Amino acid sequence: MTTATACAKCILLGEHAVVYDRPALAVPVSSLRVTATLESNNTPVLELVADDLGETILVTPDILARSAQALVVIVRETLHALGQPLFGGRLVISSKIPIASGLGSGAAISTAIVRVITTHLGLTLSTDHINQLVYKTETLYHGTPSGIDNTVIAFEKPVYFKRGMPLELLSIHNPFTLLIADTGVAASTRVSVGHVRELHDANPALSETRMDAVAALVERARTAIESGESSALGTAMDENHALLQQLEVSSPELDRLVTAARSAGALGAKLSGGGMGGNMIALVTPEQASSVAAALRQAGAVRVIETTVSGS
């Protein structure tokens, strides 16, 4: 049996604007992972079992050639990249990453599948190549992905990401602590990205101004991270949340958690990912972490994860 894993991600600043070619910052969440296991057998069918998605797909050569389902597409892309035919077996995916919550579960599932098939066949693919394969499935989840989710997950490093530009790793001066709190409201990135697109098309000039404002915050936050100024990072996060509210991708549940974190002393707080539900993040000192986490639970968070972001 072969096993491979992939991490979750969280966007620090710049979500949505990154779709419009502005920069964004994202970090891996290594404690939350997808695990894929693969065992060959002598049937002609590859059974794909995704318990968390409630899906079992029997992949025959015909289905492999024609299916548009993300799980099958990533198997097809991987085998094609490796120059290998379909083989019989059972590939089981189990994920600790909540679905539709802004933590990159789709990209993590695809990454784990590429890795497990590649390792199982005793072959290798570069991280860049894995990243490109996973990007193809991201387009199935929402039409215009920036590529930030697959990039941070494939490389499992903090990144400064701008579409079409060479990847830049973030250098982190002082490790910092984040709380990631889940509203418990499932939200589709496709829907939130589509909503921002509608606002953009209705008033392109206003939308571009907002995207520029987000980009300026991303640059400020990058400087703060690279020089270890936590309070400046927190302020940039707060301002980014306000801009995301203007883009109409926040929600009452997200706003409630953001307010609770700030009232409990967090240095900054904002929604993270597609929004309209899903997760928010709060920047805290290690000493504050448990009291801010308690305040977040009190304000309705169904799950709070603490993670330390350290150097690349």
Q: Which stretch binds ligand MEV (CB under 6 A): 119-127, 140-148, 220-228, 235-243?
A: 140-148
CB 48 within 8 A of CB 110: no
Which residues, other chains included, contact 79 with Cβ-Cβ below 8 Å and sequence gap of 6+? 64, 85, 86, 117
Q: Does 15 bind ligand MEV (CB under 6 A)?
A: yes
Cα separation, 264 vs 118, in Å, equals 46
String marking each residue 92-111 x if it binds ligand MEV according to CB under 6 A: ----------x---------
Least gap, CB of 274 to ligand MEV (angstroms): 4
- Give the amino acid at 199: L
From candidates 6, 16, 154, 296, binder to ligand MEV by CB under 6 A: 16
CA–CA separation, 102 vs 10, rounded Å? 7
19 binds ligand MEV per the rule CB under 6 A: yes
Considering the complex, state which of residue 10 and residue 64 has its C-beta at the smaller distance from ligand MEV. Answer: 10
- Please give the residue whose beta carbon sits closest to ligand MEV in the complex: 146
Q: Which of 98, 106, 273, 277 contacts ligand MEV by CB under 6 A?
A: 273
Under rule CB under 6 A, residue 277 binds ligand MEV: no
Q: Which of 148, 153, 154, 159 binds ligand MEV (CB under 6 A)?
A: 148
Part of the chain binding ligand MEV (CB under 6 A), chosen from 74-82, 127-135, 145-153, 254-262: 145-153
CB of 204 to ligand MEV, least distance (A): 18
Among 146, 183, 279, 307, binds ligand MEV (CB under 6 A): 146
Q: Which of 18, 274, 10, 275 is nearest to 258 (CA)?
A: 275
Decide: is 274 part of the binding site for ligand MEV (CB under 6 A): yes
For the chain, the DSSP string reads -EEEEEEEEEEEE-TTGGGGT--EEEEEEEEEEEEEEEEE-SSS-EEEEEGGGTEEEEE-HHHHHH---HHHHHHHHHHHHHT-----EEEEEEE-SPTTSSS-HHHHHHHHHHHHHHHHTT----HHHHHHHHHHHHHHHSSS--SHHHHHHHHTS-EEE-TTS--EEPP-SS-EEEEEEE-S----HHHHHHHHHHHHHH-HHHHHHHHHHHHHHHHHHHHHHHHT-HHHHHHHHHHHHHHHHHTT---HHHHHHHHHHHHTT-SEEEEESS-SSSEEEEEE-TTTHHHHHHHHHHTT-SEEEEEEE---
Of the candidate residues 20, 72, 149, 309, the single one contacting ligand MEV (CB under 6 A): 149
Asked if 189 interacts with ligand MEV (CB under 6 A), we say yes
Per the annotation, the verdict on 149 as an active-site residue is: yes
Using the rule CB under 6 A, which residue among 193, 236, 276, 299 binds ligand MEV? Answer: 193
215 interacts with ligand MEV by CB under 6 A: no
Q: Per CB under 6 A, does 240 bind ligand MEV?
A: no
Question: Is position 238 an interface residue for ligand MEV (rule: CB under 6 A)?
Answer: no
User: Looking at beta carbons only, is 92 or 182 nearer to ligand MEV?
Assistant: 182
Binding residue for ligand MEV (CB under 6 A) from 18, 79, 152, 292? 18
Nearest residue (CB) to ligand MEV, 149 versus 239: 149
Tell me which of 21, 52, 62, 149 is the catalytic residue: 149
Residue with tokens 């597609």: 274
Encoding tokens for residue 61?
Answer: 């050569």
Q: Which residues are catalytic?
A: 149
Residues at the site binding ligand MEV, with contacts judged by CB under 6 A: 11, 15-16, 18-19, 102, 145-146, 148-149, 189, 193, 273-274
